[in-house]
Structure formats: C-alpha cells, structure tokens
Structure 1
Amino acid sequence: MQMVHGQAERDTIPEAEVFTSMQSVNINGRTLYLTAQAGTFEVRDEQNKPIALMGHTFYTKGDKRESETRRRPVVFAYNGGPGSSSYWLHMGILGPKRIVVNDPDYTPASPYQIVNNNFSILDVADLVMIDPVGTGLSVPLGKAQFKDFWGVDQDIRSLALFIRQFLIANDRMNSPKYLLGESYGTFRNAGLMNRLLKDGIALNGVIMVSAVFDLRTLLFPPEDDLPYIVHFPTYAATAWYHDMIPDKPTDLYVFLDKVRKFTEEEYTPALFKGDRLTEDEKSAMAAKLAMYTGTKADYWVKADLRVTNSEFFAEFLRDKGEIVGRLDSRFTGINQDLLAQEGNHDPQSSAISPAYTAGFLDYLYRDLKVDKSLHYATSAYERKGFKWDWKHEGNERWGTQAAINTGVDLAEAMSRDPHVKVLILNGIYDIATVFYGVEHSISHLGLTPEIKENIIMKYYEAGHMMYTHPPSMAHFKKDVADFIRDTSR
C-alpha cells in the first residue's frame, strides 16, 4: 500500500522539462558552438522529497571530450530583487546574445536589437542562469509553497540544494565553481558561499555585481547616520557627471578621493554630534554639502544635513524639471511633481526595461525553444502574496533580529577557506547599492590582512547595471574573464 500511495503522490507532481537547442557566439573573432538547455530542474529536500522545479538555462561548450568538460569552469549566475529573474544578466552581459539599449537615454519601442554578445563569458566558462523560486519558470512542488522559498535563509537553502544536485546530475562536481550575483544576488552570494562550504563545496571564486551585504546602508533606519554617510560620495559623483560642480575637477577618481576624505573626516563627525552641532557649524557644513552635490545649502539645513536617496532623486535636478535614476544616476527623466519630496519613478528602469523584457522573451521562446505555454515570471511580484522574510540566522541578538547582514557569512567563508577569491564590481553612479557602502562593509568584516587581499574591487563609470554602458561592458568582460582564468588554474 505504501508503494501505491507513493506512486499516486508522485503522479501528481509535474516533471522537469528541458528544451535543448544549439546556439553559437562569436567572441573576438572566434565562433563557439554551444548546447543550450533551458527549462526546469527538480530540486529535492534533505529527505529526498521533491520541493521545487527550478528554472534555468545551461550553456555548455560543444565538441569537447568528457575530461575537458569536467575541467571547464562553471558559473552559477542570478539577479537580485529579491524577486527578480535572471534575464537582466542573461541578456545584458553573460549569455551568447545581448539586448542593445540607448545608454544613457530612452530606448525606443520594438523592433529591439538582439545581437551577438562579444562580451559573453562563455569563452572561459560554462554558464547556468538561475531563476529562484517564484521567478522565471520556477515553482514549488508537492507540499511546498512559495513562502517556503521567499526569505533570506530559505532562498540560500534552495539555491544550495539546486547547485549541489545540479553539479551531481551533470557530472560537474569536480569542475572549478563560481557564483555570480547582482544586487540582492550579492547579499545571497555571501550567505550561499558559506552554506556551500559547510556542505563541502568550496568555490574557486565569487563575483559580486553591484554589491550590498549590510542592508543598513540602503534602508535609512531611524537615528542611523550610516546610510547618509555612505550615499554622499555617490551624490557627489552624480553632480560631477551632470556638471553641477563649481570648478569641476577633470579627474573623477581624484575628485572622489577628495569626497571620501571629506565624508570621513568632516561629514561623519558632524552627523555624530546630532543636535549638539551649533547653527553656525550646521550652516558651514550645509554649504560644503551643497558645493559637492550641486544643490542648495538651505536644502541641507532643512534636511538636518541628512538626505535620503529618494529625496536626492527629486531635489537634484528639480530646477530643470527632472529627476535622476536610482539604478544609474546618469539617466534622467521628467519630474511630474516639482513639489514632490521624493522621486516617483526610476528613469533608468523606465528607459531600458521594455527592451530587456520583450527581447528576452523573444529569445527564450523562439531561439531557446521553450514551450510557449509555459509562463515566464520576470518578477516574483507577479505571484500572489509575494513577501520576503528578512530574518537571517546569525543576525539575532537578545532573541530578536538585530541586523540584516550577510557580511558575517562572507567573513566566515573567506576565513575558513583562505583560497577563495571575491571580485566586487561597483558602478560609481549606482544609487541603489552605493560603492562607499560596500567599502564600509568590507573594512568592517574583521578580516586578517592576508584574507582581505583575496577581495578585488573594480569600479565602472556607470550604474547598477554597468553593462548597459559600452565601455564598462568591455571592462566587465575583461575583469570577470581574468578573474576566472586566474582562479581556475
């Protein structure tokens, strides 16, 4: 009876489906032929029960012997959100095709350009684009529900299970292994690399695109000066880009070093004083803040020297009737409410999202041959009841959540595996995950000097999705390819 019941239960569970196609990519004049497998993979829990179909696209280089395949690096990549599918990285920089957008301007409606991606990483590694449960084709199975996957620790667990089982299923457990995440994907990376290490899977490297590890740097909690401090250099960089700096220095990086010094030595102590700062001191500080950001001193006085990123979006170009982008402050858009305290939309997202969405779906169903009856969720917000559980093991104090921070996992993983390297890619004009916030987090991990040397920081004169910017696209490819080559030998 048990066997009959088990079979009946199994028959109600949808099976994984993979759609195979042959693709190619030309990189620096050399054509690579690829096998692409797009579809779903059944993930099982620790008791071997099916819990999810995980959507993915797996690219492997063709015409190779099995021994060569096993030595070839494999990169597991995803976007962030939380709740975003992976099509941004897939069609922006990693896969064999990419979407062309009018950076840093609005891209007109279709037909969109889907072109060969000369900047793909497929010449140095095989690639698995992953869509976490709730995004893409990924859905729960059996008794599992969406909420079982929607949280910091739940997400880390499900991705760890997928990666382990996928490596085994494809005979790649002994291949050089990498994680590549963007935005919340970097927050995920830090926890996931530690979870995988505890499960016996050491990584060769982890690539962080537009990183965040400590969510205080983004959330502007009450009475916490840190987010104001770490955002300020990006406000100044934005003013430099838009020519709003008096006597603008010619070298952006020299300018930013000056801004970092001012932020650390003058702005931070002023905020720390709180209401003990005199009116004269506040006025003097407001004048300096205004000078560095192309804004008005009285605005900083009214803000008590503390301006959130959303307030900056609305204020910075208010006199021109415009707002600047959150994901990339090089982008500007129309401000429909000139009295608004905060920005009402993100011009960068508005400028490129239709091209990425339509272009990817065309590629998914037409080129990758995925069944057109299968719905691809570009975001988990399409799913009813999407809500993220931000609790994270190791962040508790006195029986309550004291932080939302996976930097502790990053530090533990790097300290317990002194060979793993971490590459962090920062967009200077990214006001979603600011570069100075990452620098602050790294300098507060408590790493030994030898371990800290395993972290490589790169900077791009672009935003959160630096790969929309053609010069940064080329730098991205070189930085990532060099990193994989250097760490997979």
Structure 2
Amino acid sequence: MKTHLTILLTLSSILTFSQNIKIPSDTMVVTTHTTTVKGANINYTASTGTQPVWDKKGIPIASLFYTYYERNNVKNRAERPLIISFNGGPGSASVWMHIAYTGPKVLNIDKEGYPVQPYGVKNNPNSILDIADIVYVNPVNTGYSRMIPNKEGELPKRETFFGINADIKYLAAWINTFVTRKSRWESPKYIIGESYGGTRVMGLANELQNNQWMYLNGVILVSPADYKLYNTSQPVYSALNLPYFTAAAWYQNALPKVLQEKDLLDILPESEQYAINTLMPALAKGGFISAEEKETVANKMAFYSGLSKKVILQNNLDVPTSFFWKELLRDKSGYTIGRLDSRYLGIDKREAGSSPDFNAELTSWMHSFTPAINFYIRTHLNFKTDIKYNMFGDVHPWDNRNNNTRDDLRQAMAQNPYLKVLVQSGYFDGATTYFGAKYTMWQIDPSGKMRERFSFKGYRSGHMMYLRQDDLVAANDDLRAFIKNSLSNGKPAKYEKD
C-alpha cells in the first residue's frame, strides 16, 4: 500500500531521444509502502530514478535507472545488509529478479511460472526485504538507462560500456557513488548476479575491492553464465551437459524405466560421476577413441539422456544442447523443450531439424514480465516517462576479450577472509546448466583452501528457478541463511593457522 509520494529532481543533464522524448539523468521518485514478509508487517521506502555515470572530467556520459528498497524504522542501518542486484544478457534489464524473486512484488503467474491474465504484480511474502535492503541496477541501454550525448549530440564510444571489463569498470564506479549517496559504507554488502550477471559480479568483487576500496561479505551467482566455460570450443566440456540432459529427460518422462522410477536427486549424482569420470576422458580422445569404447559410452549416454544411441553416435558423443531440445521428444510428442527451462514445451513448423524455431520459455516470460514491469514502475513506483523500457537493449558487439573474472573472484576472496560465495541453479536450465555452475565453482580456487566458503543450492526448475512457487520460497530462504552466515558478527577478518 502506497502512503505518500515525494519527487526529487536534479536537472544537471537531460537524456534526449527520438521525437523529443526526454528524461532527467539524475532524478529520483520516492514512495512508501507496506507489505507482509514471512508473516511480519514490513514498512519500506522505494526510491526509483536515474543516477549518472561520469567520465574522468566529471561530465555525465550515461545515466543508469535503478530501484532501491529500504526497510523503514531500522534502528541501526550500519548493521543492515545491502544487496546490489544485476541481471545478465549481456543487455538484459534488471527486471527478472526484481519482480519475480527477491523484491517486495512478484508477477501474477501460476505456481509453475506460466503467465496469468490480468498481467501485473502481487505482494511477495518471501522477499528478503525483511533482512536486507536491495537496489536493482540497470546497465547502459537496459531498462531506462541510456548513454548521454555531448554538446555536439555525439554519444560516447560504445567500448566505454559494452564489454566484460568495461562493464565491470563503470558499474563499480556507479556503485561507489550510490553507496556514498545512500550512506551505506558501514553496511555489510552483497552483490547478486543472474546469468551473465554471474560473470559480471565475479569481476565486480575484485574491482570494487581493489579500485573502489569496497569490501563485500558475499557474492551470489544465480544460474551463472561463466564465459570462461561457455566461450570455449573444446568438445570435452560438453560432458558437463549430461547431468542436465538427465534432469530434463526425467522431467519429460523420457528416461529408461529404471531411472524414471527414481527421484531426480537420486539419479543426478551418478550422471555427474559418469560425466566427469568417463564421458569427459572419452571426449578428450576425439577421433582416436576406439570403436568399442565409443559404442560403450554412447550406450551409457543414451541411458542417462533419453536420446537414442544412434543420434549420439552421429554427433560423435558431443551432443549440442540445441539438438537435445529439438530431439528429446521428437518421436514421442513432437514438441520441443525450452532452452532456459526445459519444463516448457514449444511447437515448431516442422518436426525435422537440428534446433527449435524459438525459445518456448523466453516467449512465455516476456509474455508476463513486459506488461508487469511497465505497469509496476508507473503505477506503484510513480516513475513516469515515455522512454521505452528495454527488456533487452542494444549492447552488441560485446567485447569478451581478457576475461579474468573467475580469477578476479578468487583474488577478492583470498584478500578478504569475510567474503563467501553462494551458487544457485535450476536443474532444468539448459543454457547455463547447474553442473556447469558446479564446475565453475570448483575451478575458482584450485588450491582448495577456500572451499568451505563456497556453497551450492539446486532447485527443481530452470534458469529463473524462482518462478516456481516452491523454489521461490526455498531460494529466498537460502539467501537469508547465506546472508546471516556470512555476517562477521564481530569476528576479525584474518586467517589463522590450524
């Protein structure tokens, strides 16, 4: 329930777009609300608006749209955690986790995540707003965030924003300004990133710490896209897809009876072990694997994937995920299955082919998220503009060179004994698979000395695991537990010998 409205404007610069549509580059709208989380009444303030990105001369070159939720009547704000939230893409607005996961409102959807009309939002009784304040940040060209033209009407160079390292650099500086403006330097701080946001926050952890001198308590990777893994062309890494194949086939009732009759969590460990201990070494042999071994491996892959041995051999044991989404149900129902969430079904023009015509899950999500976020920002948050809200923005080409984000996170953890990491993944995610996320977690610190500071949580849904009601509850509770367990509670930040 909204109780009052305050509008604060700083017209230091104006973003101008086609047809003379304008938005201030530094502006804020403040509203107050009441909700119920975990049975307790929560009064909170929502501040939404834009905050500039400056160049070295102090000239605004971009303005980022954000929404900040702060619980009211907090006795000691310095002890209250601050969560800084990003989605991915790259090029995605910070909309998905905002109105479907951690925020005070969630979509009108059914218990499995499918669209329900009328579109809109409802209270989220599972939001982590009870224990932490949250800011959702939209990188350049997403949401209402945009580059700012100079006096000659020229936009900044695109490489200033659109690349792994450029993205990390300017966002870290923006966070510094935000934390300073909101007087949150004393607070425990966490960064959470979904999908490509996982790559982003791994790099941000080190950039914030070593160039903004901002130390974190936690980094949370939600269905992380590790570009170090996904940008490789080495077939050996396709072995990591097998446990996802097992999960998706189990959900679609496509596994052999002996596996299908078991619970999902009873069969995934054996699929994982086969993937690492047998399939990966077999793929490493390439064309020099013996015919006998190739046949044996194909048989076992068929057992764990629901695919036929024939098509596995035709792909030389290296089965593309896009082929799996098309093939799994081809001879059963003729449906395709979703990329980001393989619980979803799609209908192609032809059953023939090597990949689906469209992403069944993403079209469903756009169906419900797009009207909801546009309605919510205008009606609930009172931020009104004719600028188009970019669910996905123009950020390509994206510079993927010099990706050291995995080691950036390791370095930040090594330098900061407080810093812990939580990984959350859905078992039915075929784009950033849960086992790929586990593999990334294993590779961050080869020494193994920090392994106790990592934790992994899996859920019976897909990329946006929180769209399923049961997982919305469980995933938020896992965030609460992680936040509470990573608070220092007066313990010094130092290493001690055993």
Matches within 5 A, 1:313-462: 313-319=325-331, 320-381=333-394, 386-392=396-402, 404-462=403-461
Matches within 5 A, 1:9-28: 14-28=24-38
Q: Distance in 2 between matches of 1:255 and 1:91?
A: 33
User: Counterpart of 2:92?
Assistant: 84
| 1:314–1:105 Cα change, 3 Å | farther
User: Counterpart of 2:83?
Assistant: 75
Displacement after TM superposition at 1:170 (Å) = 1.2
Letter in 1 for 2:442: S
Q: Distance in 1 between matches of 2:13 and 2:249?
A: 60
Displacement after TM superposition at 1:219 (Å) = 4.3
Letter in 1 for 2:254: M
Q: Distance in 2 between matches of 1:28 and 1:10?
A: 42
Displacement after TM superposition at 1:165 (Å) = 0.7
Q: Distance in 2 between matches of 1:112 and 1:161?
A: 36
Displacement after TM superposition at 1:130 (Å) = 0.3
Q: Distance in 1 between matches of 2:473 and 2:14?
A: 48
User: Counterpart of 1:183?
Assistant: 195
> Per residue, is there more helix in 1 or in 2?
1
Q: Deviations over 1:411-430 (max 9, x none)?
A: 11111112201111111111
User: Counterpart of 2:104?
Assistant: 96
Letter in 2 for 1:158: Y
Is the deviation greater in 38-47 or in 164-173? 38-47
Matched, 1:34 2:44: yes
Displacement after TM superposition at 1:327 (Å) = 0.7
Q: Which aligned segments of 4 or more residues in structure 1 are displaced greater than 6 angstroms?
A: 9-13
Q: Is the 8 A contact 1:24 1:33 kept in 2?
A: yes
Letter in 1 for 2:225: V
- Unpaired segments ≥5 residues, structure 1: 1-8, 393-403
Matched, 1:286 2:293: no
Letter in 1 for 2:135: V
Q: Distance in 2 between matches of 1:434 and 1:192?
A: 22
What is the DSSP-based 3-state SS (H/G/I as helix, E as strand, rest coil) of the residue aligned with 1:282? helix
Q: Distance in 1 between matches of 2:224 and 2:178?
A: 26
Q: Is the 8 A contact 2:31 2:45 kept in 1?
A: yes
Q: Distance in 1 between matches of 2:103 and 2:340?
A: 22
| 1:11–1:266 Cα change, 3 Å | closer
Displacement after TM superposition at 1:265 (Å) = 2.1
| 1:86–1:228 Cα change, 3 Å | same
User: Counterpart of 2:180?
Assistant: 168
Displacement after TM superposition at 1:374 (Å) = 3.3
Displacement after TM superposition at 1:213 (Å) = 2.6
What is the DSSP-based 3-state SS (H/G/I as helix, E as strand, rest coil) of the residue aligned with 1:89? coil
Displacement after TM superposition at 1:312 (Å) = 0.8
What is the DSSP-based 3-state SS (H/G/I as helix, E as strand, rest coil) of the residue aligned with 2:285? helix
What is the DSSP-based 3-state SS (H/G/I as helix, E as strand, rest coil) of the residue aligned with 2:311? helix
| 1:102–1:334 Cα change, 3 Å | farther
Q: Deviations over 1:414-456 (max 9, x none)?
A: 1111220111111111111112212222222344434121111
Matches within 5 A, 1:36-185: 36-65=46-75, 68-102=76-110, 104=112, 106-108=114-116, 110-143=117-150, 144-185=156-197
Q: Deviations over 1:353-372 (max 9, x none)?
A: 21111111100011100123
Q: Distance in 2 between matches of 1:103 and 1:220?
A: 36
User: Counterpart of 1:242?
Assistant: 252
Q: Distance in 2 between matches of 1:177 and 1:133?
A: 23
Displacement after TM superposition at 1:244 (Å) = 1.4
The RMSD of aligned alpha carbons is: 2.0
Is the deviation greater in 239-248 or in 172-181? 239-248
Q: Distance in 2 between matches of 1:219 and 1:196?
A: 25
Q: Is the 8 A contact 2:13 2:26 kept in 1?
A: no
| 1:28–1:445 Cα change, 3 Å | closer
Letter in 2 for 1:168: T
Letter in 2 for 1:289: M
Q: Is the 8 A contact 2:87 2:194 kept in 1?
A: yes
What is the DSSP-based 3-state SS (H/G/I as helix, E as strand, rest coil) of the residue aligned with 2:127? coil
Q: Is the 8 A contact 1:180 1:189 kept in 2?
A: yes
Q: Is the 8 A contact 2:113 2:468 kept in 1?
A: no
Displacement after TM superposition at 1:49 (Å) = 3.0
| 1:256–1:453 Cα change, 3 Å | same
Displacement after TM superposition at 1:287 (Å) = 1.6
Q: Distance in 2 between matches of 1:444 and 1:260?
A: 16
How many residue pairs end up in the alignment? 461
What is the DSSP-based 3-state SS (H/G/I as helix, E as strand, rest coil) of the residue aligned with 2:129? coil
User: Counterpart of 1:228?
Assistant: 238
Match among 204, 207, 231 for residue 192 of structure 1: 204
